[in-house]
Chain A
Amino acid sequence: MENLIYSDTLPGGKHWSLLMRRNTRLRLTDVEGGANIGMLFYNPQNLLERYNAPDTLKCQHTFKLTAGHCLYSDMGRIFCSIVSDSFGWHDTVSGNTTKAIVARKWGEKSYQAARNDWQQNGHDSFLVEGAKYGLTRRDLAANVNWFSKVAVAADGAMSLDTSAAKAGAQVELRFEMDTLVLFHTCPHPLNFANTYPRKPAQFEILEGPPAALDDPARLSAPENARGFENNRIFLAGCCGDHHQ
């Protein structure tokens, strides 16, 4: 059913970007356990359309992201759906480390001293990857933090549950429209480890079947059936493809 096209591993504290075609899949693996993958999504045909965490959460009445969920743009469309997930609870509200946060938590390291073990931060990672496509700071938004479980207590207190970390945990995304993906492997901003966590992530691109009419992502909420219908309307206009 699936055909592996490409496999790579991004070391901890690095960043990269990909253009994912509709119906291709991106499989992410937390190789050692404790990785964090910050990720943002844009429509390459109109970069003003971007991932919207509040819409994603409220459309599906969820605070966490896991299998069956769809990741929405601010235009009511689905960039991708989560087809499988062995981790169970991914964060999309905590944002990124910045240069100042990294310095406060883990000290300052110059590039000359640390070379490629420098302590990159998530915010700067998105600035650099985004700039490759003409995106600036003003285009950033709340990102996903894959493999980071942020729990909320009754009084609203947030905490990163590091006990959820699992070597080999995987999440697989199926893209429902062409999507620009920016990502980094910098630490989660609520990580209180004593030293800068440097955890690699494997990313694989696969070919696979499109979402069937009874796909769990379509059926997990009536909202998602309407989201898929918005994609169908968009695809009819942009790409001459209105089936399903």
Chain B
Amino acid sequence: MIKESTLREADAIYRHVIPAGTYWMHVVQKGQTLRLLDLEGNQAADTLFFNADDPAERYSASDTIREQGNIYLTAGTVLMSDICRPMLTITADTVGRHDTLGGACATESNTVRYALEKKSMHACRDSYLLAIAENEQYGLSKRDIGHNINFFMNVPVTPDGGLTFEDGLSAPGKYVEMTAHMNVIVLISNCPQLNNPCNAYNPTPIEALIWGEGV
């Protein structure tokens, strides 16, 4: 569902451009609103959330899609945790549909999907593993890397049970916005994938903006 935001960029208390192929790990406080802005269009933002006060609680793709009875994420979607508690609600979305079935790219899955020689290409899961290694204060390890959201990606299911990766519905300047119901650690790998059209074969930066009290 397309829903415009009422927030003004000038009022944001935090802005950060996430270059393609890098990660961003940041705590968004309860009540704050996070916007992810697709600066140049068709850029997959592979996103995980953890409860900042108990990082064992994390975003769950299964709980999120089952509780709303729909596989696509958009305005109105409540992002649920592994114990089926609301973490954030998507409050605005100018794209209309985001994926949470396709997971993140990994060097290992790249060997299966494309060729065994692709194992040395940059991949989201490597960015996640570097992020948790460089941020030991959160106590996260590989076991905490669950199934992510692919903001700005379009992965439809066909009537006969197929899964297709379609051209993104996103475009320069489109965004998705969400308000936190708990203090959350946001971990984004701005996807470096070069082997499929999820980034239009041209990974580009995205921007994170935050509104609300404190930083």
Contact = CB atoms under 8 A, between A and B. Distances in A.
Given A48-B142, A98-B84, A152-B71, A230 B63 contact: no
Q: State which size class the interface on B falls in.
A: 35 or more
Contact of A158 (B66, B106, B163): B66
A157 B70 contact: yes
Given A95-B66, A138-B56, A59 B143 contact: no
A58 B104 CA distance: 10
B162 interface: yes
Interface in A135-191: 136-142, 151-152, 154-159, 189-190
B82 A54 contact: no
Interface in A43-101: 48, 52-55, 57-59, 61-64, 72, 74-77, 89, 93-96, 98, 100-101
Interface of A: 48, 52-55, 57-59, 61-64, 72, 74-77, 89, 93-96, 98, 100-101, 123, 136-142, 151-152, 154-159, 189-190, 223-224, 226-227, 229-230
28 contacts: A48-B141, A52-B103, A53-B147, A54-B102, A54-B103, A54-B104, A54-B147, A55-B109, A57-B101, A57-B102, A58-B103, A58-B163, A59-B113, A63-B161, A76-B108, A93-B71, A137-B82, A139-B143, A156-B72, A158-B66, A158-B70, A158-B71, A190-B66, A226-B116, A227-B112, A229-B116, A230-B111, A230-B112
B209 interface: no
Nearest to A64: B161
B102 A138 contact: no
B115 A93 contact: no
B66 A155 contact: no
A156 B71 contact: yes
Interface of B: 56, 58, 60-63, 65-66, 69-72, 82-84, 97, 101-104, 106, 108-113, 115-116, 125, 141-144, 146-147, 155, 157-159, 161-165
Q: Which of A64, A89, A93, A151 has the most CB of B within 10 A?
A: A93
A123 B101 CA distance: 20
Contact of A72 (B102, B112, B116): B112
A74 B108 contact: yes
A141 B111 CA distance: 22
A62 B141 CA distance: 29
B62 A142 contact: yes
A100 B115 contact: no
Contacts of B110: 76
Contact of B157 (A48, A63, A189, A230): A63
